[in-house]
Structure 1
Amino acid sequence: MNVVQCRMALAGLGWSVEDLAREAGVPIDALLRFDSGEVVPPGIYAALRDTLQDAGIIFEDDGQLVEGGPGVRLHRSHVDEGKRPEELSSANDG
């Protein structure tokens, strides 16, 4: 994960840097240092990356799926689409 991927992940999740720091359990100043391009301790980096992955972010390497450099995408989650029309009846009308 690089800084741009981290920013894209936050945008995709609708999180602020404060949200990520809280969820990852890292000091906000450490996250801000990472965001400014500074090297952070491996444990901080791992906590940030793991938290984003646990939230559904998938990090793509350069050229992995599309041209143009590293990126991110959101994991497809199972969405309950409810009952299909052919499954509806007065017995399950709630």
Structure 2
Amino acid sequence: MELAPEQCRAARGLLNWTQERLAEEAGVSRSTVRDFECHRHVLHRGTETQIVRTLQEAGVMLLPSGEHGPGVRIR
């Protein structure tokens, strides 16, 4: 699944996580999360996989783009 910057921010909001917390949990740098969420760069596939897995393991469901765009839900 392709993670959108807006999904990442929304997922962090549902979890009440900071960028720093997501970075620590996913094993990436805070600047990677910050720059992705600010549309400064796209994620490498491996980094995206780590972040998606981390969010999903924390209880977030990432919804694919559909009629209304990508979304998130908490389990």
Is TM (by shorter chain) over 0.5?
yes
**Structure 2: segments with no counterpart, 5+ residues:** none
Select the structure that is richer in helix.
2
Superposed, 1:10-89 pairs within 5 Å as 10-37=12-39, 38-63=41-66, 68-75=68-75
Q: Which residue of 1 aligns with 2:11?
A: 9
Alpha-carbon offset, residue 68 of structure 1: 2.2
* TM superposition score normalised by structure 2: 0.86
The higher-RCO structure (CA 8 Å, 6+ apart) is 2
Question: What is the Cα-based RMSD across aligned positions, in Å?
Answer: 1.2
Structure whose alpha-carbon radius of gyration is higher = 1
Alpha-carbon offset, residue 61 of structure 1: 1.7
Write the distance in 2 (CA, Å) between the matches of 1:52 and 1:7.
Answer: 11
Superposition misfits of 4+ residues, deviation over 6 angstroms? none
Write the distance in 2 (CA, Å) between the matches of 1:62 and 1:43.
Answer: 21
Write the distance in 1 (CA, Å) between the matches of 2:42 and 2:68.
Answer: 24
Name whichever of 18-27 and 41-50 sits farther off.
41-50
Alpha-carbon offset, residue 39 of structure 1: 1.3
Whether the 8 Å contact between 1:33 and 1:40 is mirrored in structure 2 is no
